[in-house]
Structure 1
């Protein structure tokens, strides 16, 4: 079996035992590379559609990502090609990123997270986890998720409309990118809705760049009227708007979910899906763990932030992004940051040691234990 895989996918040994794996640049992948491939494994930078696959021998496509907006599912169905993705594979990594971002913003704005109102837009694998962690911390959390509200399913936080959520002190976005229908999310935060946000608020986005109208946000921030903004995702990746990058407080190159464990889970989930499709038993696998200890007490929010920053420092991603995009080829630099991203481990990787004050124990138990 010939398997073509994005060169940035780790832990491909399970597929290498099944056949020959050819690693390719996912952003520049063409039909020619699939001339004799039966399996295609991608990440979010590859547009997977009829133009790429029709007439090739590919019969299984796997995307090691949460989102699927880069995949034409209808075309795959019409071509008789099986599809699998990895919902939730990096949810914990993104949630850790968002928790650090929220604490950093509170620190900068002179407030505590416990005493703030947080609005979570989208309560899927990531947003639901963020909401649950904030509940454990005792913060006031409200959510907006129209499909979830219509389904009648239980939500982790009270549900309300988008405009009410945009009145919160801190807002974090966790929706898929959808282009049409009653729940379309492209430019969900357009100029009109962005105008509702002021400098005393915080806006965080780790979902998809086009959920926010980037030009409108850049204009608002340039006028000094917008929220404190932290962006991991951008319109027109890998070439973010330089005017927007200049004005956001912290930015990163679409790596909120780029933990070693999240990437490992993504590949493992695709391998399990391939085994089911092929009618084979999926072997069990164990994620990477460490015997190392994070020795740090947690008595207050400053301690909690310090603990998170022992594992990962958002400011370092911001520094690298600004330095890279100041060069002659910003697009190549953006992709290079993702390709050569330094190893980042989730808190589950370590063992925590240190006194935890009673108000933080419910959250600490979630951070350091599988859920």
Structure 2
């Protein structure tokens, strides 16, 4: 069996035990590079459709990602090609990123997150975890997810329309990118909705760049009327407009979910689906070892931020992305940042020691729980 896989995917050893694995650069993968592959494993940068697969031997496609907007699911179904992806694989990593982003935005605005309102747009695997964590941080969570509302959602959050929650102190986006249907999300925050936001508000996007109209956001920020913004995703990826980068508080190269554990979990989820497709027993997943001990008392937001920054510093990625914009080929440099991304572990790989004041105990339990 011949398996073609994105070079950025870790944890392919179980696949290698079942066939020959060829690693490729995912963004520019061509039909010719697929050759006689039976299996294709990708990430979000590879467009999987008839143009790539027509005439190939591929019968199984796996995407180690939450979203599926890069995959023509209808074509795969028509061709009888099995598809698997990894919903929720990096939910914890994204939640840690968002929590740090919230603290940094509040720090920059000389305000506390406790008691502030947050609009969580999209209550999937990532969004629901973010909502739970921000509620434990002491924020007043408001939520929006029209498809979930239509399915009869009965969870802990009251669902509202997007227009109803645009007055929240913070808006964080966690929706898939869709172009069709009653709840399409491309330019969900368009010029009209962005015009309703003020400089006293905060905005975070870690899902897909085109969910925000980036040109309208740029105009709003340049006019001094837009919200304090942190972007991990960009509409024109892998090209990041320097003008927009200069206007955001912090920006990163689509790595919010790039923890070692999240990427490995994505590969493991595909491996389980692959074994199910073949009708064979999957080998057990290896157990990760803990990194060590974090000794830090937590009495306020600054202490909590210090704990988060033991594992990850958003400002480091901001600087790296800013430096890449001066490269001869910024788009190539953007992809290189992702390909050569340093190992980043989730906080539950550490043990915490230190006194925790009552207001911070719930969120600290979340951060270090192995779930």
Relative to the length of structure 1, the TM-score reads 0.98
Quick one: distance in 2 between partners of 1:323 and 1:48?
31
Corresponding residue number in structure 2 for 1:107: 107
Quick one: distance in 2 between partners of 1:155 and 1:182?
23
Corresponding residue number in structure 2 for 1:279: 279
Q: How many residues align?
A: 371
| CA apart distance, 1:288 | 2.5
| Matches for 1:38-187 after TM superposition, within 5 Å | 38-187=38-187
Whether the 8 Å contact between 1:36 and 1:57 is mirrored in structure 2 is yes
Quick one: distance in 1 between partners of 2:21 and 2:183?
38
| Alpha-carbon RMSD | 1.0
Quick one: distance in 1 between partners of 2:58 and 2:33?
11
| Matches for 1:218-233 after TM superposition, within 5 Å | 218-233=218-233
> Is 133-142 or 1-10 further displaced after alignment?
133-142
Whether the 8 Å contact between 1:190 and 1:212 is mirrored in structure 2 is yes
| CA apart distance, 1:287 | 4.5
Corresponding residue number in structure 2 for 1:327: 327
Whether the 8 Å contact between 2:14 and 2:283 is mirrored in structure 1 is no
| CA apart distance, 1:249 | 1.0
| Matches for 1:354-365 after TM superposition, within 5 Å | 354-365=354-365
| CA apart distance, 1:264 | 0.4
Quick one: distance in 2 between partners of 1:360 and 1:281?
43
Structure 2 unmatched ranges of 5 or more: none
Corresponding residue number in structure 2 for 1:316: 316
Whether the 8 Å contact between 1:289 and 1:350 is mirrored in structure 2 is no
Q: Show CA shifts across 1:290-327 (max 9, x none).
A: 24111111111111111101110000000000001122
Corresponding residue number in structure 2 for 1:341: 341
Structure 1 unmatched ranges of 5 or more: none
Whether the 8 Å contact between 1:131 and 1:156 is mirrored in structure 2 is no
Quick one: distance in 2 between partners of 1:147 and 1:221?
30
Corresponding residue number in structure 1 for 2:217: 217
Quick one: distance in 2 between partners of 1:218 and 1:295?
41
Corresponding residue number in structure 2 for 1:262: 262
Q: Show CA shifts across 1:39-86 (max 9, x none).
A: 000000000001111111100000000000000000001111000000
Quick one: distance in 2 between partners of 1:99 and 1:327?
31
| CA apart distance, 1:12 | 0.8
Relative to the length of structure 2, the TM-score reads 0.98
Quick one: distance in 2 between partners of 1:224 and 1:138?
29
Quick one: distance in 2 between partners of 1:73 and 1:155?
29
Local SS of the residue matching 2:40: strand
